Amino acid sequence: MSSPAQPSAQSDRPTLPLSGLDAEARAAKLKAANINPQTGLATDYLNHFNEAIMLLEMIPDVPECADDFLQWHPLSYAEHFTASNFKARDLAISAYESADPDIRAEFDQMTDTMTSILREVGTAMRAASQDSTKAKLAEQAIGWLKPLVAAAGGVINGGYEADVETIMAG
């Protein structure tokens, strides 16, 4: 079941036959598209949150950047890839939709939390009249968001155990 921040992709998008491929062919296709073959997730989605963080980081030094941040709006995984120039965007959406439900739930929980933080900070910034208040809100949000982006990256990349296996295999 999709959460409100992660709606299903549109039904007019062609379905890609990932399930019809053997494990080796599926992994090769995903890896070639910069999608983790183990998790079915792509780090490109985190660029969406990194953009908001970059704007927040600018606010303390350039208060006018608060307006740019307030124009940022959250996108679900499917919405991000649908709107992107990512070469394998349909494959990324298909792989996400067929990802292990537990991995996807963990990832969705993190991205939903980041989205909630960004929405609430936006609401608070709209209400704030002082640049110093906006700067403080930005700094607090960055402190919450950066660890979540790193954790979401860990989920995308298969977590700690996968990293250890990769290092030990090398």
Residue 159 lies in a domain: yes
pLDDT digits (tens, 9 = 90+) for 7-37: 444 444 444 546 667 778 888 999 999 999 9
pLDDT at 145: 97
Residue 10 lies in a domain: no
Residue 163, C-beta contacts closer than 8 angstroms, at least 6 positions apart: 154, 157
Residue 1 lies in a domain: no
Residue 126 lies in a domain: yes
Residue 2 lies in a domain: no
pLDDT at 165: 45
Residue 125, C-beta contacts closer than 8 angstroms, at least 6 positions apart: 66, 69, 70, 134, 137, 138
Alpha helices in the chain (DSSP H): 23-32, 46-58, 65-71, 77-83, 89-97, 101-127, 131-156, 159-169
Q: Among 1-15, 68-82, 103-117, 138-152, where is mean pLDDT lowest? A: 1-15
**What is the pTM (predicted TM-score) of this model?**
0.80
Q: Using N-to-C axis directions, what is the helix angle for 46-58 and 131-156, rounded to 10°?
A: 160
1 pLDDT higher than 60: no
Indicate the average pLDDT of the chain: 86
- As for how many domains the chain has, the answer is 1
pLDDT digits (tens, 9 = 90+) for 108-138: 999 999 999 999 999 999 999 999 999 999 9
Residue 133 lies in a domain: yes
Averaged pLDDT for residues 141-147: 97
Residue 122 lies in a domain: yes
